[in-house]
Structure 1
Amino acid sequence: MAGHSKFKNIQHRKGAQDKKRAKVFTKVLKDIIVAAKQGAPTPDSNSKLRHAIAAAKKINIPKDRIDNAIKQVTNPTGQDQYDEMRYEGFAQGGIAIIVEALTDNRNRTASAVRSTFSKYAGNLGETGSVSFMFDHIGIITYKADDVKADPDKIMQIAIESGAIDVVSEDDEHTFYTEIESFSDVLDNIVKELGDPEESYIGWRPKNLVSVEDEDKCRTLFKLVDTLEDLDDVQRVFGNYEVPDHIYQKLLS
């Protein structure tokens, strides 16, 4: 278990992304589709789907849109068929980037991702070219303001729930799990803390690379921002960290 890490700024656009309501709706609904495809299409027997639906309700996605997303799995006739895709590449300076997408047109998505890497001084690699630098794990996050527990209590909950790690920052708590135990750990944590802000299978870098040049940071952030804005992209992960003084300057 670890109590603190500099992992916090490798997904720096969470707040900005939350403001783009339509895009957030689309991405959360696609999370529901993925969850329904990976397990039973009923929330009672599929923990991942149950919590994906809870996340959708948390941002006030209408029930009919949630139901329609599940129907794309249970009754796919005439509906768009989505494939899960992973793209791996490098940003400027050898920073490793993983892009996860859900798409109904592989050629369109691959072209958009490839051109985005090229535009911002990066290059798209082969599958497996960077994923070995990451751990593929379950990720469960809570906003600190939504949790009535101090870091010691959070640590206790993590241990008792079966999480492999937890990181407490000023603004959020993040639990990490093995993929095989993700649903069980998530259920255990929800019993203690309620529904999380986010819960998904993702990628955590084994080691972080510090980017201390302001211009390179700006280009890196533009790459990540543009990738996350693509309609088919669900999440972007990287193995970088940015010094706080540069990070705050670029956000201002």
Structure 2
Amino acid sequence: MSRKSTKPSDQRHQEPPENTHKNIPEDPNTLEQAADELVDESTSEKVNGDENNESSIGVYGDDCMDAGDRATQDAKADDSREGLMEKLVVAHSQIDELKDGYIRAKAEMENIRRRSQNEMISARKYAIEGFAQELLSVVDSLDQATRVEMDKPNGEAAINMKENMKQGLELTLKQFDKVMEKFGVIAVEAEPGVKFNPEVHQAISVVASDEVEPEHIVNVMQKGFSLKDRLLRPAMVVIAKSSEKE
């Protein structure tokens, strides 16, 4: 007798579907409260989403504005940089001109200094050139006087020769005085009867005199001369003192 084997059935055990509404309360009041909470949550999520969108828009807007400002500032900086470069070029050009002018002025001043120095040396070396030329005429007169032959004349001829010699010497001396005065060399006033002046006179002796007042010149031993306002040599004089005994 054959036995029929019974195989277990391939039917799968299916669990009942999970009740998705297991958290829904059965109380109507509680159900209404849960609905309100769901509405509030959805509203808050919407508000938060809007705020996030606005904040994102604000951030991107600020970024856009900052980019525009930066572009404007960069443009201004470029313009300013170009202006500064132009000014720098102009300044360098002016500096070069000033340097060139300074070098030229320095060279000109050096030339002037050298010319002045040479002129001063020449002036010192030939300062008496004009004076010497004027004295040549005096030298010629004295030279002619020395050529006069003296044959030991007697009588009236000797007298005439002496007079001629004296007149010739006086004329030569006047000629010499004119040359001296022309160049500012003037004889100091020193004659008998002139009051003694220690600034231009030098007393070599003192004598008693009834004809000349005391502290006045009695005789001139040597003439004095001054060059313009400077004393070259004082006059050597003899002055008088009072004849009365003290």
TM-score bracket for this pair, using the shorter chain length: under 0.3
Q: Which has the higher contact order (CA 8 A, sep 6+)?
A: 1
- What TM-score comes out, normalization by structure 2 length? 0.17
Please tell me whether Structure 1 or Structure 2 has the larger radius of gyration of its CA atoms.
2
- Structure 1 or 2: more strand by fraction: 1
Q: TM-score with structure 1 length normalisation?
A: 0.16
